[in-house]
Structure 1
């Protein structure tokens, strides 16, 4: 592009990049937020993010050289992902070469680069990622594999290398890939080895794979893992499965102050009214009260704010988490409200948004419900899928992809 009339409006392009960085981070937060639905994400923060990425694409080669390539070296992961996404969306022929050079040369920026590779389509991206599986650097192999697994692409021969790694994070990645492999069933020994690993990350990844491919040894490990530090996934699985004694293991954690909030969060995904009763005594607790309110909202369909059952509290936390976006129930009015509603709901039955809970209702909640609760809903469906069948919904993908995958889930389960 020549100097003069064709010179880009650099202040505009720089603003696009700054806004794209901010909105990428906001988009990531919206994907796990309790106060956003999929449609709200699509129409709001994601739409604005894509508009700013498009604005950067218009800058073409000059913007790549002056703005986007330097941004790949940023310490801010959202800026790296936004710059990488723009390169993938743009028409510049050297974009992939630039990005894969950065993948090799900038180890600190690798996770942010992989995030863009996972989310953004490019005609030649998949072949380049598959080629990266043959790299001599295990870190590059793992980075390419991470993006491919997110895209539900098989890893083939590279899988054995990941499973044999000395790095627990890499072994975990290999285990997470197993259910999506054509011959995943042949890797049951790898799951059994993972279930006995010393690293909790590997154990949890083995549990996730084992639910699909090797349920019997997996459930034995789940029971023990639920009582270990960081055993939130196992607690959730026990609560959702509800075989004999499963929920009692989770409910026992209510008596442990250090595990109580985690137990309430897990029990809130069941939709059983007697579990709300079991948690009511902590309704005025700053950490537990919002989780109990969330449990009530999911079970009954009530909006606590609209019903006038909340109080406003000042958020003084140094780090914002999804829990900070939950409404804070006003304890006495909320308890009185629940006691009036309680006769509508039978013990021993599960409910979702005020209706008896079935697969169609779960798929509906995956489509229209709060973003924060969707991974557990998907896990609930997965537990009821035939052995060896992996349900494919990436709850951290762009919404267009999520809609396509939801359409397939609705077809499979006859919902909607």
Structure 2
């Protein structure tokens, strides 16, 4: 005879399996070209939360029997989902358990950091801040990463991170600088980062330098854009658009290895002449979807709705955001563009069919545009902000938190 108080283990196990799957779906949706923030908020997140809530309802027994063992899983999405359910649930030892795993199982740290970054639990931040004083640099880095994703200060750990022999830790310290009150005091660290041998450190120094040390940063950006992995710098040149910037980006269209990054960067300019320059690659399996994305961003057209796409099977081994871009049907798409080309003026930037002449247009893109393009829109706004002013938005945060940040961003831009 079944104990009336005994949890329905098969149901709870299904909740955990579904939470694992949906955590991965949620992560993908946050950078997807075919989701908006509203769709993430109303379609993806409710399903994930329903299964996390189902695990919480299982109580301490479910936490100990299912969730704690799941923290040792080889699947990062299972670890993140289990950790999130523990943070939501009633198990009194949940925090102690999670921080023990953080300490003892290095391979689980990225998944735990992601769960920590997404939790609203009030007593979590003090525990993370306490880790900033840990003797183990890796623990300091994990805690700092989680705090940084929550827009919390990591000032106690900056000296450790910036002086580390580990490039990933130096990168983390540099990424934190723009949001720290003392960031301007570390300009020398930015200069050192710009000259670093590690590309990740250079990119992190560029991100900080755009806010705190623009002059030397832009010099490095121009050189970095020429490097094989200099995609961030390429995007920055496209967005800045000073004399020679767009030409430097467009020159890389001739290089097949850099062409996708160049099309992506020029697609964020939103000027019709760059669509013209990229039309010849509409039939390319890799570049074609990026050209189509450029058209969609500029005009606001939905290629699928206009019947301008081809049905293709996704044969990639690892799913990327680009895999969700529609594949344009080359001839009809080119004809469609040429019929409408006269509506758009050379040299003018457009977003969803409207000139990019006000911050409000950018903000609308952040609120209602494709998730994949929002990080670049924020960067575009940041480049126009006064020196030392950081516009905050975490594109990989939960939708509710992003809504709060968007409201703050609106106020910061003087839009009420």
Normalised by the size of structure 1, how large is the TM-score?
0.98
**2:382 aligned with 1:382, yes or no?**
yes
Aligned partners of 1:278 and 1:238: how far apart in 2? 17
Farther off after superposition, 42-51 or 314-323: 314-323
Instruction: Report the counterpart of residue 282 of structure 1 in structure 2.
Output: 281
CA contact (8 A) 2:161 2:170 kept: yes
8 Å contact from structure 2 (residues 133, 156) kept in 1: no
Using the TM superposition, give the Cα deviation of residue 309 of structure 1 relative to its aligned residue in structure 2, in angstroms. Answer: 0.9
Mapped to 1, the partners of 2:93 and 2:318 lie a distance apart of 38
The residue that corresponds to 1:51 in the other structure is 50
Structure 1 Cα separation of the partners of residues 397 and 156 of structure 2:
26
C-alpha distance after superposition, 1:213-241 (max 9, x if no partner): 00000000000000002100000000000
Alignment of 1:164-203 (within 5 A): 164-203=163-202
Aligned to 1:257: 256
Aligned mates of 1:180, 1:352 — CA distance in 2 = 28
Question: Residues 225-264 of structure 1 correspond to what in structure 2 (within 5 A)?
Answer: 225-264=224-263
Counterparts of residues 346-361 of structure 1 (less than 5 Å) = 346-357=345-356, 358-361=358-361
Aligned residues between the structures: 414
The correspondence of residues 269-348 of structure 1 with structure 2, limited to 5 A, is 269-348=268-347
- Cα deviation for residue 415 of structure 1 reads 4.2
CA–CA separation in structure 1 for the residues paired with 2:233 and 2:196: 15
Match of 2:214 in 1: 215
Q: Using the alignment, how far apart are the partners of 2:158 and 2:86 within structure 1?
A: 29
Paired position in structure 2 for 1:84:
83
How big is each residue's C-alpha offset from its partner over 1:2-30, in whole Å with a ceiling of 9 and x where there is no partner?
x8111111111101000000000000000
Counterpart CA distance in 2 for 1:178 and 1:413 is 22
Whole-Å Cα distance in 2 between the matches of residues 92 and 392 of structure 1?
33
Q: Which residue of 2 aligns with 1:118?
A: 117
Q: Distance in 2 between matches of 1:297 and 1:32?
A: 17
Unaligned 5+ segments in structure 1 are none
Q: Give me the whole-angstrom Cα distance separating, in 2, the residues matched to 1:213 and 1:240.
A: 18
- Unaligned 5+ residue runs, structure 2? none
Structure 1 residue 413: deviation in Å? 2.1
| Contact 2:36–2:370 (CA under 8 A) maintained in structure 1 | yes
Q: Which shows bigger deviation, 305-314 or 129-138?
A: 305-314
Q: Deviations over 1:120-154 (max 9, x none)?
A: 11121010000000111100000000001111111
Aligned partner of 2:105 in structure 1 is: 106
C-alpha distance after superposition, 1:261-293 (max 9, x if no partner): 111011111100000011011111111111000
Residue 94 of structure 2 corresponds to residue 95 of structure 1: yes
Whether the 8 Å contact between 1:364 and 1:415 is mirrored in structure 2 is: no
Deviation at residue 102 of structure 1 after TM alignment? 0.4
In structure 1, the residue matched to 2:368 is 368
Which deviates more from structure 2 when the two are superposed, residues 271-280 or residues 90-99? 90-99
The alignment's C-alpha RMSD in Å is 0.9
CA distance in structure 2 between the partners assigned to 1:404 and 1:37 by the alignment: 16
CA distance in 2, matches of 1:128, 1:48: 29
Counterpart of 2:17? 18
Q: Give yes or no for contact 1:301–1:354 (8 Å, CA) kept in 2.
A: yes
The reply to whether residue 71 of structure 1 matches residue 70 of structure 2 is: yes
Moved over 4 A (4+): none
Q: CA deviation at 1:68?
A: 0.4
SS of residue paired to 1:16: helix
CA distance in 2 between partners of 1:354 and 1:415 (Å): 21
1:193-251 Cα shifts (integer Å, max 9, x gaps):
00000000000000000000000000000000000021000000000001110111110
Shift of 1:361: 0.7
Query: Distance between the aligned counterparts of 2:154 and 2:403, measured in 1?
Result: 25
C-alpha distance in structure 2 between counterparts of 1:172 and 1:109, whole Å: 20
